[in-house]
């Protein structure tokens, strides 16, 4: 049904600098939508805001 309405892909809330990083948390906290905030990771709670690669980025391991 969603694909019929043009919603076949849900936009990711993960910042591009966090793609593939094992430290990404990404959960939202708070009781209502207006006051919820997202915790990106423990190193950078609001996400890495600079244009260069995050110095704490580590690849997700399979084990």
How far is it, in rounded angstroms, from Cα 17 to Cα 40?
11
Mean pLDDT of 35-43: 91
Portion of the chain with pLDDT greater than 70, in percent: 81
Average pLDDT over residues 22-41: 91
Asked if the model's pLDDT at residue 3 lies above 90, the reply is no
Torsion sign, CA atoms 17, 40, 33, 35: negative
pTM metric for this prediction = 0.69
Q: What is the pLDDT of residue 8?
A: 64
- Here the tokens at position 51 are 């244009």
Which residues contact residue 55 at a Cβ distance below 8 angstroms, ignoring those fewer than 6 apart?
none
Q: Which residue has the higher pLDDT, 40 or 1?
A: 40
pLDDT of 44 reads 94
Burial of 53 (0-12, 13-18, 19+ CB in 10 A): exposed
């Amino acid at each position: 049904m969603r694909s019929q309405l043009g919603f076949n892909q849900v936009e990711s809330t993960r910042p591009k600098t966090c793609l593939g990083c094992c430290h990404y948390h990404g959960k939202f906290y708070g009781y209502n939508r207006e006051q919820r905030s997202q915790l990106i990771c423990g190193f950078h709670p609001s996400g890495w805001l600079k244009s260069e690669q995050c110095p704490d980025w580590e690849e997700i391991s399979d084990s």
